[in-house]
């Protein structure tokens, strides 16, 4: 069975302390529960989680969905938003993890990437270099979510044309976002990885297309 690699990149900078990080933890767990109820996702999806604040961390590598154990996601007291470092880590890990097709074997489907941030990148040069690499190919759908009123949309458009927005950082908004992410991943798994496809499910009312 060909794998559908899925990478989540989540902002854990200081501004996420309190209700936002609690809502994020609940949302990730709800997403996992929903995906595990989908037989196609359970067969194909392999998930990795990267967090970023003053450094980028791989909380767990690409792992079969049924084996994923998500640790409690925490936030430092304060710190910048090194999204560029997180994207560089994504590029490195995907280069190592994703099986490419060869004459003797069929590789994995193109990875899906979901990025959520409540601010803008602090490491601007590293961010722009990573965006250019990702734009050159090797990934399937790349979705960026600008979460909350302080999130800037413009930098995210350097990464992807698919930028969505959450007006608030409360539990309801986060729950809807991760429900939509799980539906997007399930759609990808059911359409055999959606290689070369940009199809995503309709956005719920809590999520808007970033203008």
Strand 45-52 to 56-64 pairing? antiparallel
Mean pLDDT of 185-200: 69
pLDDT score, position 196: 45
pLDDT of 156 higher than 50: yes
pLDDT score, position 204: 86
Mean pLDDT of 144-168: 94
Mean pLDDT of 114-138: 96
Question: pLDDT tens for residues 38-67?
Answer: 999 999 999 999 999 999 999 999 999 999
Q: Report whether 99 contacts 105 (CB < 8 A).
A: yes
pLDDT score, position 195: 44
Q: What is the mean pLDDT of the chain?
A: 91
Band of residue 194 on the pLDDT scale cut at 50, 70, 90: very low
Report percent pLDDT > 70 for the chain: 96
Edge-first strand order for the sheet with 56-64 is 56-64, 45-52, 4-11, 112-117, 142-147, 162-166, 207-209
Q: Which range, of 50-59, 72-81, 109-118, 172-181, averages the lowest pLDDT?
A: 72-81
pLDDT score, position 95: 95
Per-residue CA distances from 158 to 76, 154, 207 (Å): 27, 7, 20
CA–chain centroid gap for 68, Å, is 15
Band of residue 211 on the pLDDT scale cut at 50, 70, 90: low
pLDDT score, position 192: 53
Question: Alpha helix (H) ranges present in 37-170?
Answer: 39-44, 83-97, 124-135, 153-159
Mean pLDDT of 91-102: 92
Band of residue 164 on the pLDDT scale cut at 50, 70, 90: very high
pLDDT score, position 83: 97
Mean pLDDT of 172-191: 90
Burial of 31 from C-beta contacts in 10 A (0-12 / 13-18 / 19+) = buried
pLDDT score, position 76: 84
Neighbours of 35 (CB within 10 A): 23
pLDDT score, position 68: 97
pLDDT score, position 53: 95
């Amino acid at each position: 069975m060909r794998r559908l690699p899925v990478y989540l990149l989540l902002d854990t900078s200081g501004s996420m302390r309190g209700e936002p990080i609690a809502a994020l933890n609940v949302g990730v767990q709800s997403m996992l529960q929903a995906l595990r109820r989908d037989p196609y996702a359970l067969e194909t999806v392999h998930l990795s989680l990267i967090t970023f604040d003053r450094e980028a961390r791989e909380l767990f590598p690409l792992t079969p969905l049924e084996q994923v154990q998500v640790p409690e996601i925490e936030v430092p007291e304060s710190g910048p938003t090194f999204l560029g470092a997180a994207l560089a880590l994504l590029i490195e890990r995907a280069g190592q993890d994703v099986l490419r097709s060869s004459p003797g074997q069929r590789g994995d489907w193109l990875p899906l990437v979901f990025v959520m941030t409540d601010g803008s990148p602090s490491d601007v040069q590293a961010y722009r270099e990573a965006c250019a690499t990702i734009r050159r190919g090797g990934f399937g759908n790349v979705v960026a979510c600008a979460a909350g009123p302080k999130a800037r949309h413009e930098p995210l458009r350097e990464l992807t044309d698919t930028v969505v927005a959450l007006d608030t950082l409360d539990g309801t908004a986060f729950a809807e976002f991760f429900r939509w992410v799980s539906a997007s991943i399930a759609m990808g798994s059911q359409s055999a990885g959606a290689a070369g496809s940009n199809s995503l499910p309709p956005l719920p009312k809590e999520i808007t297309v970033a203008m």
